[in-house]
Chain A
Amino acid sequence: MRLSAKSATLLVLIALVALSPILFPSGYYYRVGALIFVNAIAVTGIVILTGYAGQISLGHAGFAGIGAYACALAPVHLGLHPSLALVLGAAISGVIAFLVGRPILRLKGYYLGVATLGLGILVSMVLNNERQLTGGPDGMEVPDLGLRGLLKDAGLDLTNGQFWYFFCGLALILGAWLALNLYNSPTGRALRALHGSEVAARTVGIDVAQLKLRAFVISAVYASVSGSLLALQNKFITPDVAGFMHSIEMVTMAVLGGVGSILGAIFGAAVLTLLPQVLTVFAEYEQLVLGLVMMLVMIFLPQGLLPSILRKVRGKGE
């Protein structure tokens, strides 16, 4: 029996999340793993926007910022539970993406790039400047999610690292499952059609504007959830989460790994999250190496890392 691509992807992902801890030499690796999953969630959103629908965003960190600060602010000012704050952040991000998306998504290529860039910069500027609310560039504390305590009472005692590793891992599997379902749905097929040719898609009756907007809103929600999880996990947040470099990081992770597939993009997230950890030994050369890796992969493996590696492996097998 052959597995469908969707089930295969999910199985690989579940196996990775469940089995990787066997190899962890210390608790520190749970923390790195959780960070990879958080980034991978945002990157899954980029796959929907860029990989499925072929649209560019240079400002998605703005939505991550909204998600992160919703978890920091809503519990204090509105008395919401942090988990509901995550939902609120996702809703706000979705609404903003919906309102701004319609006019922005008429733009193409670099024009779309600069418009989304502007959107992200506006969010990060508000977070930096509204000191009395957000603490400005110094950042602010984020309340505890409280779930680990509940699990402990229920008899499941996890360390903080372990808890966040499995919690974010589950969130990623859920996110990937939704994205994979979308891929095979009528909406997903229409998105891929408009990626191929907008004009052709329109002539067969696809509402191009509506679909692009849908992809934009969905990917904004992914970015927002990723920002929320980052904030809750670190219990502290700074406006850097909404900065331009974070937006670029998201796109780079997706494209470097292979933006055409969820697994490829997650692989990219893992590589780029691990790279700085490996390079801490040569902290001075970190930027140099990062820039070099970005250029080399794009020049020599334009399809992304994972698809290129898979092709190599299959080629040898035959």
Chain B
Amino acid sequence: MPELLQFLFSGVTVGAVYALVALGFTIIYNASDVVNFAQGEFVMLGGMLTFVCHAAGLPLPLAALIAIAATSAIGVLMNKLAIEPARGAPVVSLIIITIGASIFIRGGAQLLFGKQIHSFPAFSGDTPLRIGGATILPQSLWVIGGAVVVFIGLWLFFTRTLTGRAVLATSNNRLAAQLVGINTNFVMTLSFALSAGIGALAGVLVTPITLTSYDVGLALALKGFAAAMLGGMGNPKGALAGGIMLGLLESLTAGYLSSQYKDAAAFVVILLVLFFMPQGLFGQKSVDRV
């Protein structure tokens, strides 16, 4: 029993990170129909920039804040320079653009920060807490708490604020949103800033546990993408559920079956889900007008 609890703890922690990445995918997808494969690089930048600022002598909270703000700015730049000019391009071209952006950011990070592995101290110490015979790191609670706060914050933003509703309106029908006076370009900018900021936050929270280096982004982007598709692309609830499920699947497979094939289990389940529910778990059936 403590064993199972232990796997659940680690699964939920990893799952919370996937969920944050998947939420980032969802926000940009809703605003622009683009799946941003550079989402994982935002996580890398969050951890990496925090490390750089912290190593330069800044206190950790300030370092984290600067990292998140800087990553948001990079997200906005990416939108302005690479996504907006290619508006209306086919899916394959957009995939190549965002993967190009991710390779570009990764290459830049390698030049600036080197190939070493970096980290910074955990927020509330490294003494594991004991719950029901299993242990959990205080930092894991930060990660899980972070995901919950971001999810609730987004939910409030999208349902309770005018700006949030403008984003939803844009994702439903871009032209109609423009016609009622919504500045859709601003919505795009906001979405990229928000999404990059959330990615960076995930990086800040998880780096004390998993450490970071210039090349951690790709794997996270693939997992986050998979989690978002599992839940149903474009649905924040789906992103959260998909992320947690993916994390749990991985840790349970690693614990009970084979640690080598933990990623395989995740992708087998995704293939099976898509076979039977082509729109993901929470996705709505889309109807195309011909």
Whether the pair A298, B86 counts as a contact (CB closer than 8 A) is yes
**Given A118-B270, A255-B93, A291-B105: A111 and B111 interface contact (C-beta under 8 Å):** no
Q: Encode contact with A along B260-290: 1 for CB under 8 Å, 0 otherwise.
A: 1101100110110011001110000000101
**Given A122-B264, A298-B86, A299-B85: A285 and B107 interface contact (C-beta under 8 Å):** yes
Interchain CA distance A251-B98 in the complex, whole Å: 13
Which single residue of chain B is at the shortest CB-CB distance from A59? Answer: B267
Is A152 an interface residue when CB atoms closer than 8 A count as contact?
no
Binds A, one of B12-20, B56-64, B158-166, B225-233: B225-233
Whether the pair A110, B91 counts as a contact (CB closer than 8 A) is yes
Interchain CA distance A286-B274 in the complex, whole Å: 37
Residues of chain B within 8 A (CB-CB) of A288 are 104, 107-108, 111
B interface residues, how many (CB within 8 angstroms): 45
Residues of chain A within 8 A (CB-CB) of B82 are 295, 299
Whether the pair B100, A291 counts as a contact (CB closer than 8 A) is yes
Is B141 an interface residue when CB atoms closer than 8 A count as contact?
no
Is A107 an interface residue when CB atoms closer than 8 A count as contact?
yes
Whether the pair A244, B96 counts as a contact (CB closer than 8 A) is no
Residues of chain A within 8 A (CB-CB) of B278 are 106-107, 111
**Given A115-B271, A125-B264: A290 and B103 interface contact (C-beta under 8 Å):** yes
Which single residue of chain B is at the shortest CB-CB distance from A117? Answer: B222
Q: Encode contact with A along B64-93: 1 for CB under 8 Å, 0 otherwise.
A: 000000000000000000100110010111
Whether the pair B107, A302 counts as a contact (CB closer than 8 A) is no
Which single residue of chain A is at the shortest CB-CB distance from B25? Answer: A110
Interchain CA distance A47-B263 in the complex, whole Å: 30
Whether the pair B106, A287 counts as a contact (CB closer than 8 A) is yes
Interchain CA distance A291-B106 in the complex, whole Å: 9
Residues of chain B within 8 A (CB-CB) of A200 are 290
Is B137 an interface residue when CB atoms closer than 8 A count as contact?
no
Interchain CA distance A259-B95 in the complex, whole Å: 14
Measured CB to CB, the closest approach of chain B to A139, in angstroms, equals: 17
Whether the pair A118, B226 counts as a contact (CB closer than 8 A) is yes
Whether the pair A299, B274 counts as a contact (CB closer than 8 A) is no
Whether the pair A292, B111 counts as a contact (CB closer than 8 A) is no
Is B218 an interface residue when CB atoms closer than 8 A count as contact?
yes
Measured CB to CB, the closest approach of chain A to B286, in angstroms, equals: 9
Indicate which residue in B96, B105, B280 contacts A256 across the interface (CB closer than 8 Å).
Answer: B96
Whether the pair B275, A103 counts as a contact (CB closer than 8 A) is yes
Is A26 an interface residue when CB atoms closer than 8 A count as contact?
no
Is B220 an interface residue when CB atoms closer than 8 A count as contact?
no
A interface residues, how many (CB within 8 angstroms): 48
Whether the pair A255, B110 counts as a contact (CB closer than 8 A) is no
Is B148 an interface residue when CB atoms closer than 8 A count as contact?
no
Whether the pair A129, B233 counts as a contact (CB closer than 8 A) is no
Measured CB to CB, the closest approach of chain B to A151, in angstroms, equals: 40
Is A90 an interface residue when CB atoms closer than 8 A count as contact?
no
In this complex, the member of A117, A129, A299 whose beta carbon has the largest number of chain B beta carbons within 10 angstroms is: A299
Q: Encode contact with B along A12-38: 1 for CB under 8 Å, 0 otherwise.
A: 000000000000000000000000000
Residues of chain A within 8 A (CB-CB) of B94 are 298
Which single residue of chain A is at the shortest CB-CB distance from B84? Answer: A299
Whether the pair A251, B92 counts as a contact (CB closer than 8 A) is yes
Measured CB to CB, the closest approach of chain B to A178, in angstroms, equals: 23
Indicate which residue in A111, A197, A255 contacts B233 across the interface (CB closer than 8 Å).
Answer: A111
Q: Encode contact with B along A291-304: 1 for CB under 8 Å, 0 otherwise.
A: 11111001100100
* Contacts of B79-138 to chain A: CB distance below 8 A: 82, 85-86, 89, 91-97, 99-108, 110-111
Is A224 an interface residue when CB atoms closer than 8 A count as contact?
no
Indicate which residue in A107, A119, A199, A255 contacts B92 across the interface (CB closer than 8 Å).
Answer: A255
Indicate which residue in B97, B104, B271, B280 contacts A118 across the interface (CB closer than 8 Å).
Answer: B271
**Given A107-B274, A115-B271, A125-B264: A244 and B222 interface contact (C-beta under 8 Å):** yes
**Given A244-B218, A287-B107, A299-B97: A122 and B86 interface contact (C-beta under 8 Å):** no
Residues of chain B within 8 A (CB-CB) of A245 are 218
Whether the pair B268, A122 counts as a contact (CB closer than 8 A) is yes
Is B35 an interface residue when CB atoms closer than 8 A count as contact?
yes
Interchain CA distance A103-B272 in the complex, whole Å: 9
Measured CB to CB, the closest approach of chain A to B248, in angstroms, equals: 18
In this complex, the member of B85, B100, B263 whose beta carbon has the largest number of chain A beta carbons within 10 angstroms is: B100
Whether the pair B92, A295 counts as a contact (CB closer than 8 A) is no
Is A56 an interface residue when CB atoms closer than 8 A count as contact?
yes
Indicate which residue in B92, B222, B226, B290 contacts A50 across the interface (CB closer than 8 Å).
Answer: B92
- A sample of 14 inter-chain contacts (CB < 8 A) reads A56-B91, A100-B271, A109-B91, A118-B268, A118-B270, A122-B264, A122-B267, A125-B264, A255-B93, A286-B107, A288-B108, A288-B111, A298-B97, A298-B100
B residues sitting closer than 8 Å to A (CB atoms) are 35, 82, 85-86, 89, 91-97, 99-108, 110-111, 218, 222, 225-226, 229, 233, 260-261, 263-264, 267-268, 270-271, 274-275, 278-280, 288, 290
Q: A288-B107, A298-B100 are in contact. List 6 more A-B contacts (CB 8 A).
A: A111-B233, A115-B274, A248-B96, A251-B92, A291-B103, A292-B104
**What are the nearest 5 A-B pairs in CB distance?**
A291-B104, A294-B100, A287-B107, A291-B103, A288-B107
